[in-house]
Chains A and B, each alone.
Chain A
Amino acid sequence: MRSLYGWLALGAGAALVVLAEYRLNDYYQRVLAVVAINVILAVSLSLTNGFSGDVSLGHAAFMAIGAYASALLTMPASMKLLALPDLPAWLARLELPFALALLAAGVLAALAAFVVGIPVLRLRGHYLSVATLGLMVIVQVVALNWQTVTRGARGLNGLPPLTTLLWAYGWMLVSVIVIWRLVRSPFGRAMLAVREDELAAACRGVRVVRTRMLAFVTGAFFAGTAGALWAHLITAIAPASFSFFITFNVVAMVVIGGAGSITGAILGGVLMTLLPEWLRGIETSLAGSGRPLYGLSQIVIALLMLLVMIFRPQGLLGGRELTDLLRRPPPVRPGENEGAVGRAPR
């Protein structure tokens, strides 16, 4: 953001957001806010799934943790007294401003990631995938059973609608900048080195497990905050809100946009919000004809992902940043053409 153009773009963006805040109807405002939240999710997931080369499937879980945390921290005490009479006294009285609740949401999610990461990150990447899906089940089960805090399957309703477009896009900007910086720092290069060849990275003095852990925990932090934003946008959360679909859709954003590229993740986040939204319109419009096609949007996303994996496994942007494409000939990353010619028949 050092250049004049950067500041101009920022100013123009802020003006647009403010304009949208006051001019657009509720539906479009909500879609736009979801776009911002999904961009945060995609960019934070790209930290693990794109850069350090693991596949985390924990985003639904981290979102849930963040959503419940922020909901409990911001709900008016009077409401808590009615809805959750058995809450511990300190929590029942606590009413935090949104900014603090957002941070707390991220920190709790990061903590959960840390606990899962300890046993798993020293193992082959696969185990992270299974353990994070396991975390999703654990979080759902806890949310379902911990009646005194979560109200179980009924969920928490009537949350304060704190997620304005300004909050959503402001926080999105913060997330993108932090993660962009991180990826371009020595730590980011360490992540790429780990992804390309772990052993070689270790030999060059990269602390593999720590690098992985930092990527994973940072990603979880932002996923937690995204969960909080989402909770205060929809204003109602329940255990079923944070299912495998959420995780899957975020993974689709990163895969389709292009793993290893922040702008790719942003692109994926935007596309994978608008496309299903549009398809859902079709689903429900067909419902009138007596033959609703629920599931259609998910089927399209899944097929899209399969096609991308087979024909363009590097995703739309192919591991490059949009800025690379605009400015100079793209750098060839080591291993990008891996197996293109000398591919083994296995």
Chain B
Amino acid sequence: MTYLLQQTVNALNLGSIYALVAIGLTIVYGILRLINFAHGDMMTVGAYVALAALSALVLPVWSAMLLAMIVAGAIGIVIERLAYRPLRGSREVAMLITSLAISSLIQNSATMTLTAQPRPLRLPAELARRFEWAGLTIAPIDGLILLLSILLMVLLSLFVKYTTIGIAMRACSERVWTTHLMGVHVNRVIAVAFGVSAALAGIAGVLWSGKFGLVDPFTGFVPGLKAFVAAVIGGVGSIPGAMVGGYLLGFAEVFFVAFAPPALSGYRDAFVFVLLLAILLVRPAGLFGLEEGRRA
């Protein structure tokens, strides 16, 4: 029973992070039909910013996190402006390939300037210290990940539901052409979408590296890919779907490792992508999906 609870705590943590990253993927996909392969690298950016803020600038944790969100968000906006906007109206694959190039650019710029050596990201002791509680081993960071993620998701949902720009974001994901005719400054909406997505990935990166203790130039790549699996589980393009998909994937992955034979636990990443293939085979539109994924 305690084991089960412990695994649930782990799954909630992992799921929260997947959800935060998947939301950004799904928002951008919804509007531009772009699978943003550079999205996971925004996690890396966030983690490095937090590292710099904590170690070099000696800022308090909360402001390091805020800074990570702001810097990642700003970089997301700049990338959209410089790399994706010139490609609007060309083939969909042009943006996809560009996102690969951006991803490689970020990873290698980090390698060149910061070296590929993993660096420890040390959160303040009062967050990272583990203690026993009702048979569970937990640290305050676990609670922080869950609460902060839920808080951010609630804020995002309110933003998308009630603000004019949030409504415009949803309108764009349905039909961009008509959204122009409503007097909406579509380019600004897209910039906001990229900013919000990257900011969420940035904070997710801080939480990820905070939990596992390390940052390197490739930190975000595989979690970013897995977040896409989460988005597919929920139905790409659906924000609530991304949230639910993130937690489902978190649980699936953690429980695979917890309950599969120990010899298989090394295969956890493979399991996630086999799961992706299975879902695409059975239900490509995901749980909340819009049937647009299927070909004509």
* A and B associate: yes
Q: Tell me if B87 and A248 are in contact (CB < 8 A).
A: no
Q: Tell me if B109 and A141 are in contact (CB < 8 A).
A: no
New A-B pairs, 12, CB < 8 Å, besides A134-B225, A303-B101, A309-B98: A116-B277, A118-B281, A130-B229, A131-B273, A134-B276, A137-B269, A199-B296, A208-B295, A294-B112, A295-B108, A298-B111, A346-B88
Q: Tell me if B112 and A55 are in contact (CB < 8 A).
A: no
Show 9 residue pairs from A and B whose CB-CB distance is below 8 angstroms, ordered by the A residue. A127-B232, A127-B284, A131-B280, A141-B266, A198-B295, A198-B296, A294-B111, A295-B111, A305-B98
Instruction: Evaluate whether A141 and B112 lie within 8 angstroms (CB atoms) in the complex, with A123-B284, A198-B295 already known.
Output: no
8 A Cβ contacts from A287-346 to B: 293-296, 298-299, 301-303, 305-306, 309-310, 313, 338-339, 343-346
- Chain A, residues 130-172, CB within 8 Å of chain B (1/0): the string is 1101110110011011000000000000000000000000000
Does A67 sit at the interface, judged by CB under 8 A?
no
CB distance from A248 to the nearest CB of B (A): 5
Residue of B nearest to A254 (CB): B97
Instruction: Evaluate whether A137 and B273 lie within 8 angstroms (CB atoms) in the complex, with A301-B104, A302-B101, A306-B101 already known.
Output: yes
Does B4 sit at the interface, judged by CB under 8 A?
no
8 A Cβ contacts from B98-113 to A: 98, 100-102, 104-105, 107-112
Residue of B nearest to A310 (CB): B86
Q: Which residues of B contact A252 (CB under 8 A)?
A: 101
Q: Tell me if A133 and B280 are in contact (CB < 8 A).
A: no
Q: Tell me if B89 and A129 are in contact (CB < 8 A).
A: no
Q: Which residues of A contact B93 (CB under 8 A)?
A: 49, 53-55, 125
Q: Which residues of A contact B270 (CB under 8 A)?
A: 137-138, 141-142
- Chain B, residues 214-228, CB within 8 Å of chain A (1/0): the string is 000000011001001
Interface contacts (Cβ under 8 Å), in number, total: 165
Q: Tell me if A124 and B276 are in contact (CB < 8 A).
A: no
8 A Cβ contacts from B256-270 to A: 266-270
Partner of B87, one of A299, A303, A309: A309
Partner of B105, one of A54, A133, A209, A306: A306
Q: Tell me if B293 and A134 are in contact (CB < 8 A).
A: no
Q: Tell me if B108 and A202 are in contact (CB < 8 A).
A: no
Does A281 sit at the interface, judged by CB under 8 A?
no
Does A122 sit at the interface, judged by CB under 8 A?
yes
Q: Tell me if A130 and B228 are in contact (CB < 8 A).
A: yes
Q: Which residues of A contact B89 (CB under 8 A)?
A: 339, 343-346
Q: Which residues of B contact A251 (CB under 8 A)?
A: 97, 100
CB distance from A196 to the nearest CB of B (A): 10
Ordered nearest first, which 4 A-B pairs have the shortest CB separation?
A134-B273, A295-B108, A119-B281, A295-B111
CB distance from B84 to the nearest CB of A (A): 10
CB distance from A125 to the nearest CB of B (A): 7
- Chain A, residues 91-117, CB within 8 Å of chain B (1/0): the string is 000000000000000000000000110
Q: Which residues of B contact A313 (CB under 8 A)?
A: 87, 90-91, 94
Q: Which residues of B contact A343 (CB under 8 A)?
A: 89
Does A120 sit at the interface, judged by CB under 8 A?
yes
Residue of A nearest to B113 (CB): A295
Does A33 sit at the interface, judged by CB under 8 A?
no
Bound Cα distance from A138 to B225, whole angstroms: 12
Partner of A142, one of B109, B267, B292, B295: B267
CB distance from B25 to the nearest CB of A (A): 10
Q: Tell me if A309 and B96 are in contact (CB < 8 A).
A: no
Bound Cα distance from A113 to B284, whole angstroms: 18
Q: Tell me if B225 and A306 are in contact (CB < 8 A).
A: no
Does B165 sit at the interface, judged by CB under 8 A?
no
Bound Cα distance from A120 to B295, whole angstroms: 10
Q: Which residues of A contact B83 (CB under 8 A)?
A: 306, 309-310
- Residues of chain A whose beta carbon lies under 8 Å from any beta carbon of chain B: 49, 53-55, 57, 115-116, 118-120, 122-127, 129-131, 133-135, 137-138, 141-142, 144-145, 198-199, 202, 208-209, 244-245, 248, 251-252, 255, 293-296, 298-299, 301-303, 305-306, 309-310, 313, 338-339, 343-346
Does B128 sit at the interface, judged by CB under 8 A?
no
Instruction: Evaluate whether A299 and B109 lie within 8 angstroms (CB atoms) in the complex, with A129-B35, A142-B270 already known.
Output: yes
Q: Which residues of B contact A120 (CB under 8 A)?
A: 277, 280
Q: Tell me if B221 and A244 are in contact (CB < 8 A).
A: yes
Main secondary structure of the interface of A (DSSP, over half): helix
CB distance from B26 to the nearest CB of A (A): 13
Q: Which residues of A contact B232 (CB under 8 A)?
A: 127, 130
Q: Which residues of A contact B116 (CB under 8 A)?
A: 294
Bound Cα distance from A199 to B280, whole angstroms: 21
Q: Tell me if A293 and B221 are in contact (CB < 8 A).
A: no
Q: Tell me if B92 and A125 are in contact (CB < 8 A).
A: yes
Does B180 sit at the interface, judged by CB under 8 A?
yes
Instruction: Evaluate whether A302 and B108 lie within 8 angstroms (CB atoms) in the complex, with A248-B100, A309-B94 already known.
Output: yes
Bound Cα distance from A268 to B140, whole angstroms: 52
Instruction: Evaluate whether A299 and B100 lie within 8 angstroms (CB atoms) in the complex, with A123-B284, A142-B267, A343-B89 already known.
Output: no
CB distance from B104 to the nearest CB of A (A): 4
CB distance from B32 to the nearest CB of A (A): 9
CB distance from B85 to the nearest CB of A (A): 10
Q: Which residues of A contact B294 (CB under 8 A)?
A: 122-124
Q: Which residues of B contact A118 (CB under 8 A)?
A: 281
Partner of B273, one of A123, A135, A198, A244: A135
Q: Which residues of B contact A133 (CB under 8 A)?
A: 37, 225
Highest count of chain B CB atoms <10 Å: which of A49, A145, A208, A338: A145
Does B133 sit at the interface, judged by CB under 8 A?
no
Bound Cα distance from A248 to B107, whole angstroms: 12
Does B177 sit at the interface, judged by CB under 8 A?
yes
Highest count of chain A CB atoms <10 Å: which of B86, B177, B276: B276
